[in-house]
A and B are shown apart, each in its own frame.
Chain A
Amino acid sequence: MDGLIAPLLNGSAQGALLLLAALGLSLTFGQMGVINMAHGEFLMIGAFSAYLVQQVITASGLSIPVALPVAFVVAGLFGLLLEVTIIRWMYRRPLDTLLVTVGVGLILQQAALQIFPSQGVPVEKPRWLDGQLTILGYSWPMRQLFTILLATVCVAALSAWLKYTSFGRRIRATVHNRDLAETTGISTRGIDRLTFFVGSGLAGVAGVAASLIGGTNSQMGAQYIIPAFLVVAAGGIGQLKGTVIAAWAVGVALAFFAYWTTGSLAQVLAFILVIVFLQLRPQGLFTVRTRSLA
């Protein structure tokens, strides 16, 4: 029994973090078709901004709540910068964005390594995240609950934004056919920038969460990027609910594998799992039907 509940929670928490990391991608990759390999580094930027906030607001109880929006904006601005300087020229060849952003990632990593202490910096967890909450006999670490909560909020906010404003529509239209969108009166440039800002900003938020769970250093982004992409892909491109489910599934799978096998094997198995899944459902969990060739 314990062998089920514990991994389930850990898994959900891991899934939540994965989801946070993937959420931004589901916009920039899922909706815009940009394969942003620097997303992991935006996450890192979020984490470092959390650290910097703590240098100003030393009361760690307060600093994290403040850090979240700050990280969102900072990472978002970096994303915006990337969009206006580079990505904007690349919409016509999505696969190439992958390579360009790999370059960006390299640069950001090295910069972080040189600017901050190479060993990384501490992000103090607020006291109110100390200890555990005991629900139905199981003690649930506050920090994990926090991650899950944060993820839930972000998903809700994002889906509301896409659903209740016309942005979702405009983004999809822009991606599907830029020229047509432009001639339909949509300011495609505006849409691009906004989407990229939000997508990258979400990475920043994920960074804060990550900084509370692991180390905050120049390398931290690297470990999230591939899983995040897998999650978006498995969820079905441009399918928010798919992303959510996939993230949770991968997280739990990781936890269970880790529980029953070794930490390394868990990584391998989880990857294999997703790959096999995509083998079976190449379009991911939820798919958009298109009339072939049309």
Chain B
Amino acid sequence: MLELTDIEAGYGRTQVLHRVTVPTGKVVAVLGHNGAGKTTLLRLAIGLIKPTKGRVFFEGENIASLAPNKRVARGMAYVPQGQQSFGQLTTMENLQLVADGRRRGKALIDAQLARFPALEKFATRKAGLLSGGQRQQLAIARALITEPKLLILDEPTEGIQPTIVAEIEHTIMQLAGEGISVLLVEQHIGFALEAAERYVVLASGFVTQTGEGGSAAASTVRAAMAI
């Protein structure tokens, strides 16, 4: 699906990622401490920053030069870190934004509203006025509406109440089951590994460990990540 090979990238003159290769797989978890470079890696995957070196392939095609919106058109979806949504638009407008021009757009929106009741409740409120968690739910809903082939999630459960965390985690499993691939950054190692087919651990921009997912891996990973 998505191949990231020997990636070098950074901001301005700051190099953040060093020869990072992400294993391919249905659900891939990216783990690491603060500042390890996880977000950077995902931003690169969706095209917000360009690699200085390395291969970025999607469905066997080189997409290194594609703009993010083109990548979305090809079936990638991205949920950024930090509850980002369009504050000036209402919750509903946020959803319509992505639904626009899609067949069954309406149905897709309803599906998500059903999944996240809070959004239904505050459909007409400006997203900027929503609570943090509500915004995060909104962000995920936006991503799902695009019916992606690849879902890129940067700490999706951050700031969300446990019941819904469970809901989201459940959803991710479900989607994976339906054959959608997922690139996941998640601090809850347990869940991440449980969901993941493969995982990679980053430390200050270097890959320190990769391996098969599954709860079994937890202990080795913790060891790798222990401060």
**Chain A residue with minimal CB distance to B46?**
A183
Contact B46 A184 (CB under 8 A): no
Contact A187 B87 (CB under 8 A): no
Q: How many A-B residue pairs have CB under 8 A?
A: 79
Complex formed: what's the CA distance from A189 to B86 in Å?
A: 18
Q: In the complex, what residues of A have CB within 8 A of residue B97's CB?
A: 166, 169-170, 173, 184, 186
Interface residues in A, total, Cβ within 8 A:
25
B60-73 Cβ-contact flags toward A at 8 Å (1 or 0): 00000001110011
**Chain B residue with minimal CB distance to A186?**
B69
Which of A169, A176, A238 has a CB less than 8 Å from the CB of B87? Answer: A176
Contact A177 B84 (CB under 8 A): yes
Contact B98 A184 (CB under 8 A): yes
User: Is residue B124 within 8 Å, beta carbon to beta carbon, of the partner chain?
Assistant: no
Q: Which of A180, A187, A238 has the most CB of B within 10 A?
A: A180
B residues at A contact (CB < 8 Å): 46-48, 67-69, 72-73, 78, 80, 84-89, 93, 96-98, 100-101, 126, 128-129, 142, 146
Pairs of residues from A and B, 8 with the lowest C-beta to C-beta distance, nearest first? A185-B72, A182-B68, A183-B78, A166-B100, A173-B86, A183-B68, A187-B69, A176-B86
21 pairs, CB–CB < 8 Å, chain A vs chain B: A166-B97, A166-B101, A170-B97, A176-B87, A176-B89, A179-B80, A180-B80, A180-B85, A181-B86, A182-B67, A183-B48, A184-B72, A184-B97, A184-B142, A185-B73, A186-B69, A238-B88, A290-B87, A290-B88, A291-B128, A294-B129
Q: In the complex, what residues of B have CB within 8 A of residue A187's CB?
A: 67, 69
Contact A169 B85 (CB under 8 A): no
The smallest C-beta distance from A88 to any residue of chain B, in angstroms, reads 13
Interface positions, chain A 112-155, Cβ under 8 Å from B, are: none
Contact A294 B128 (CB under 8 A): yes
Q: In the complex, what residues of A have CB within 8 A of residue B67's CB?
A: 182, 187, 189
Q: In the complex, what residues of A have CB within 8 A of residue B128's CB?
A: 289-291, 294
User: Is residue A188 within 8 Å, beta carbon to beta carbon, of the partner chain?
Assistant: yes
Q: In the complex, what residues of A have CB within 8 A of residue B84's CB?
A: 177, 180
The smallest C-beta distance from A168 to any residue of chain B, in angstroms, reads 9
The smallest C-beta distance from A173 to any residue of chain B, in angstroms, reads 5
Contact A176 B78 (CB under 8 A): no
Which of A169, A177, A185, A291 has a CB less than 8 Å from the CB of B69? Answer: A185
Complex formed: what's the CA distance from A253 to B89 in Å?
A: 34
Q: In the complex, what residues of A have CB within 8 A of residue B126's CB?
A: 288-290
Q: In the complex, what residues of B have CB within 8 A of residue A289's CB?
A: 126, 128-129
Complex formed: what's the CA distance from A183 to B80 in Å?
A: 9
**Chain B residue with minimal CB distance to A190?**
B69
Complex formed: what's the CA distance from A172 to B128 in Å?
A: 13
